[in-house]
Structure 1
């Protein structure tokens, strides 16, 4: 019960913090440099949280990678590969367009569907240190990724 309250309190604090930052159009700094769209592209990001739930997985089974050479996003959540086109700018706007996916029968199809919906609802991104936050039009955090070294 204590862990539940701790988790909920942490999520509430994160939501409040990022709502404030989004409202003020601020992007976090990593070290001394501001992060721009070029800093999130061509890097592998491991999915660590989806719709407020921690995700168990690795950078090979749960990831997102934005390719600047053709503005496509490769992603995987469990077993199917997803490929979307995207539009990204330095003001924190990020939109995923219609994509394709492999159609393997996976044990956790529900998570993949939630993930696809989260990508389709993404309107903005925020980077804090080594984490990428995908944010919807309602300013809710849809997904959190950790930068893979």
Structure 2
């Protein structure tokens, strides 16, 4: 009887220990998987590539990487083409990038882009040290390093804005745009906007540096439109040099003068 009691006590102890180990393993696994969310939903500026420093801007644009946890897709650029595709995150900080469709523009200074594409194909894990994200292969020296970008101000631009004021014309606003008010839609970190000029749909690219913004020539559909409102809108958009946001109001500014005002849709 005594032997049976001792055996039972020993068995219970073993079960408790095994249960504790399994619980610890589950906790560790959960922590490892959960930690991957630290790098998603943020914009990372490329600062080092294969041990070489990367310029702050390439062809006037900030080189970056951004992961979208909602659809497991990434967006990246090194100053020319928009790069993108799917990514996979696993425990123990493992990561893999699958390249998707990218634009095919020819630009100056494409060396960094070419190397970044190779790095994304090679990387199989990442490390995070404060605000520095490193993409690595096995235990070799980091292939690339990225600095976290504070996007609080830039993210406020995202969404659709409807024009309710434009300067430089003697015609009343409703007379300029009798059928539809112009709209513009931002989707950062993409540096391309879409919208409607009051008649035709349009898109264009832009550069952004803090609150400084510069729009390139809009490309639009070619329906015949009454009045000069749309032409005035496109022309004024290209004069903008910076922006400010106050609540749901977006001001597009030339020098110190607000030349256009939008309301969030």
Q: TM-score, normalised by structure 1?
A: 0.72
Q: Which runs of 4+ in 1 moved over 3 A?
A: none
Contact 2:80 2:110 in 1 (8 A): no
**Residue 54 of structure 2 corresponds to residue 55 of structure 1:** yes
Unaligned runs of 5+ in 1: 1-34
Distance 1:71 1:135 in 2: 19
**Alignment-derived partner of residue 95 in structure 1:** 96
Q: Secondary structure at the match of 1:101?
A: coil
Written as runs of structure 1 = structure 2, the 5 A alignment for 1:40-119 is 40-58=39-57, 61-119=62-120
Give the number of the structure whose alpha-carbon radius of gyration is greater: 2
- Residues 55-111 of structure 1: CA distance to partner in whole angstroms, max 9, x if unpaired? 1124x5200000001101100101111002100124110100122211111102222
Q: Secondary structure at the match of 2:135?
A: strand
Written as runs of structure 1 = structure 2, the 5 A alignment for 1:3-42 is 36-42=35-41
Change over 3 Å in CA distance of 1:129–1:138 after alignment to 2:
closer
Shift of 1:53: 0.6
Distance 1:112 1:135 in 2: 17
Distance 1:47 1:57 in 2: 8
> How many residues align structurally?
115
Shift of 1:138: 5.4
Distance 1:53 1:69 in 2: 32
Q: TM-score, normalised by structure 2?
A: 0.41
Contact 1:77 1:111 in 2 (8 A): yes
Shift of 1:36: 1.2
Shift of 1:51: 0.7
Q: Secondary structure at the match of 1:141?
A: coil
Q: Indicate the RMSD between aligned Cα atoms, in angstroms.
A: 1.8
Distance 1:61 1:104 in 2: 17
Contact 1:121 1:137 in 2 (8 A): no
Distance 2:112 2:143 in 1: 13
